[in-house]
Amino acid sequence: MIAENGEKIWKIFLRKHWKMLVLFVVGAILASIGAILVYLWFVGDAQLTGLVPATLGLWTMGHFVTFLLHLIFWELLFIGVPVILAAVAGWLWWKKLPDEERKEYRCGHLFGKRSHRTEGGEGISFLIFIAFIIKVYLDGNWNVPFATWTFDYLVYSCLWALIWILIIFGIPMALGGIWWIRHEMKKEP
């Protein structure tokens, strides 16, 4: 069942399984709309219940982190669980396809070849954000409104967070790189 005449593998997939693709596209649209509605509901509810101040200048790092954690919980509960169930259903559907057909889709790179080269930055940004939160806490500015922060404090806190991450991860990476280079040089005649 090999794609003949240079026909693209995705055309074959669409011709055979267009109903399933439409179902997944509709599901993705509904999940996106649902995520926005949950977000809007939570923002309004967070202000009404006093979880966060209505005036942004009165927010503190404690409000910000609490807001994010509660938002993630509600998004996972109302959107994440149904999406996971839909993903399991999609995986079960995929497994019911004949082995030969699945192999053809894999060999034809139906879903493309992803490059993992550009995905490293998100992890570093997250680590810097965590280090920034820790610095704000250690400075005693956890419950200090953002409106009272100076620009210098924000910039220098971000810079210190970056330096911490570079020290914590950079030194072991440098040592590992030096070890690897020495190990490779010993291999050569």
Q: Where are the domains of the chain?
A: 1-113, 116-189
How confident is residue 69, by pLDDT bands cut at 50, 70 and 90?
very high
pLDDT value of residue 42: 94
Region 83-98: mean pLDDT is 93
pLDDT value of residue 34: 95
d(CA 114, CA 112): 6
Average pLDDT of the residues of the chain: 86
Percentages of the chain per state (helix, strand, coil), in multiples of 5: 80, 0, 20
More confident residue, 63 or 151: 63
d(CA 172, CA 177): 8
For the cut 50, the answer to whether the pLDDT of residue 5 exceeds it is no
The percentage of the chain sitting over the pLDDT mark of 70, rounded to a whole number, equals: 88
Instruction: State the CB neighbour count (10 A cutoff) for residue 65.
Output: 14
- Quote the tokens at residue 78: 């109302």
pLDDT value of residue 115: 55
Quick one: angle between helices 81-96 and 9-48, nearest 10?
A: 170
